[in-house]
Amino acid sequence: MKTYELVVPCHFGLEAVLKREIYDLGYEISRVEDGRVSFQGDAEAVCRANIFLRTAERVLIEVGRFRATTFEELFQGIKALPWEDYIPVNGKFWVKKASSIKSKLFSPSDIQSIAKKAMVERMKQHYDVEWFAEDGAPYPVRIFLLKDEVMVTLDTSGDSLHKRGYRTLTSKAPLTETLAASLLLLTPWRPDRILVDPFCGSGTFPIEAAMIAAGIAPGMNREFTAEQWTNLIDRKLWYECVKEAEEMIHTDVKVDIQGYDIDGDVIKAARENAKRAGVDHLIHFQQRPVAELHHPKKYGFIVTNPPYGERLEDKADLPKLYGEIGAAFRGLDSWSMYLITSYDEAERYIGRKADKNRKIYNGMLRTYFYQFMGPKPPRRSVRDTAGGDE
């Protein structure tokens, strides 16, 4: 089966999490760049990456790379690529997006226009036609320029992979599903440990945690552009990958995942989202302010996305709010806390310096992932674990 160089974008700063996911799927990493990871894979790998990767933004097939400092070099470079190997004569093809960083060619609209013309010229010669109906399957192209190196790709995903299909109702400042999954996978949380999000909003952290615990593949209930590419990917491969995903689900898993929010309407929306994701029975949602966060269990996790105070009128409330977060955390014996925020005085008002602090871009917003580590739970003896549930 033909193999491709598959390029998988992710949140900037979280490449290591995506690398681990790709390794766990059974593929070897060929390249790591800022905000993306590449690996070799066949048509089945395209399906599996789209369905199983929790932290990927989309899955791209690399058509080619070359240097270009002039529009003529860009035109000739695009024209030299074997488009006929990917796009049939009736395929609908266009440059969905062009981005340029530190390159002499920097106008996205000009890059898009010239690339399309070059593709048409190449395919006119190959198919011996003067005009394309473009009434077949869609083949969106994405082009990236970095320091005058051009990477040309086909987008197999369509809608970004953060659109799992469960979140139709969102709160004011939602965290994307892919970012929430990435941050959860950065922590040492495991499904046998309690997890609480005291600012759960539309429920993204608890829902992603429950999906991880239950083995629910993030992409199994949505569609992908490449499902229509029957010239490249046999449709039965998609069915086989979904079947593989279905066989990995264990929704009877025992977990303690909780989501709180001060807004009752938001909690209602979170419950609806969890129901659509098939994990509502695994999460306890409750209307509750962070000041009332307490729990008798030990060695739990807080993973949360508290308000940042992006609006000036909200900034004044942040010292009190982050003080309440700190007080609640101090009252939880042996717990760990992980929170993402752009508020630069978070540690001051929480009352403790984070053990680790990771800079992460949430869209265009620079945020910090503060990691306050609690002690590890004692190892269970063999006698404790053997037959404990009998």
- Per residue of the chain (390 residues), give pLDDT as tens: 899 999 999 998 899 999 999 999 999 999 999 999 999 999 999 999 999 999 999 999 999 999 999 999 999 999 999 999 999 999 999 999 999 999 999 999 999 999 999 999 999 999 999 999 999 999 999 999 999 999 999 999 999 999 999 987 665 557 899 999 999 999 999 999 999 999 999 999 999 999 999 999 999 999 999 999 999 999 999 999 999 999 999 999 999 999 999 999 999 999 999 999 999 999 999 999 999 999 999 999 999 999 987 665 578 899 999 999 999 999 999 999 999 999 999 999 999 999 999 998 877 788 999 999 999 998 865 544 444 443
User: For residues 95 and 107, is the Cβ–Cβ distance under 8 A?
Assistant: no
Across the beta sheet with 92-101, the strand order is 29-33, 36-41, 4-9, 60-67, 149-155, 138-146, 92-101
Across the beta sheet with 257-261, the strand order is 283-287, 257-261, 195-197, 301-304, 336-341, 365-372, 356-362
What the chain holds in terms of domains, given with CATH numbers, is: 4-155 (3.30.2130.30), 177-217+228-380 (3.40.50.150)
What predicted TM-score, i.e. pTM, was given to this entire model? 0.94
pLDDT computed for residue 388 by the predictor: 42
φ/ψ of 245, rounded to 5, equals -65, -40
Q: What beta strand segments (E) does the chain contain?
A: 4-9, 29-33, 36-41, 60-67, 92-101, 138-146, 149-155, 195-197, 257-261, 283-287, 301-304, 336-341, 356-362, 365-372
pLDDT computed for residue 308 by the predictor: 82
pLDDT computed for residue 385 by the predictor: 43
Instruction: Please say whether the dihedral angle defined by the alpha carbons of residues 378, 381, 384 and 385, taken in this order, is positive or negative.
Output: positive
pLDDT computed for residue 167 by the predictor: 87
pLDDT computed for residue 387 by the predictor: 43
Q: Give helix 43-52 / helix 235-247 axis angle, nearest 10°.
A: 40
Tokens 């509750």 belong to 288
